[in-house]
Amino acid sequence: MTAMSSGCSRYVRLSADEFRARLQEALAIYVQAMQYPEGTAEQRAPMWLTHALRDGWRCMAALDGNGVLLGLAYGYHGRAGQWWHEQVRQGLTRRSGREKADEWLSDYFELTEIHVRPENQGKQIGEGLLLGLLDGVEKSKVLLSTPEGTNRAWNLYRRTGFVDVLRDYHFTGDPRPFAILGRQLPLERR
């Protein structure tokens, strides 16, 4: 566990084993932050565990002074054949052409999850997670998807230089519109 501190919380890089040990705690934050129904955590657990095996996987956690998980972010190297990559490629190719899809979907880090307990949002914990997670990533860009609509997450992404890659996209199996956002790396600390 590598640690750095900021404000009222401590940021640590979790190993895959540490991530697995805190999985239920992390999934509870995910369900709260995304306002998903009960039972979502059980559906997502196997997928999150599989993600931890992907090339370039890394994870940052925000902890309070007692070691309670306040937030979590993780991601990995995106590549052809991964579900998210293929979904985004299809949408981007359809709307903007193959060249634009090839430009964005090469040499990128997929910021897969970033969530903060609702009662701890607005305290720059998400920004600390984002900066810590992306520090030292050896890819030329980072991509993420987020539900459409102005909220704290959107404000964070805009403040840290993310631009629109694809808007109002519907992933298979989810009725909500999503935005795909991206930016060049490195992401400098302010």
Would you tell me how many other CB atoms lie within 10 Å of the CB of residue 66?
5
Across-strand partners of 75?
58, 111
- Please count the other Cβ atoms lying within 10 Å of the Cβ belonging to residue 181: 23
CA distances from 165 to 44, 134, 161, 173 (A): 26, 19, 12, 21
DSSP 122: T
Dihedral angle sign, alpha carbons of residues 168, 128, 69, 113: positive
What is the rounded distance in angstroms from the CA atom of residue 68 to the CA atom of residue 171? 33
Q: Which of 11, 74, 76, 157 is catalytic?
A: 157
Two tokens, residue 148:
């459409």
Closest CA to 48 of 33, 27, 32: 27
157 is an active site residue: yes
Give the active site residues: 157
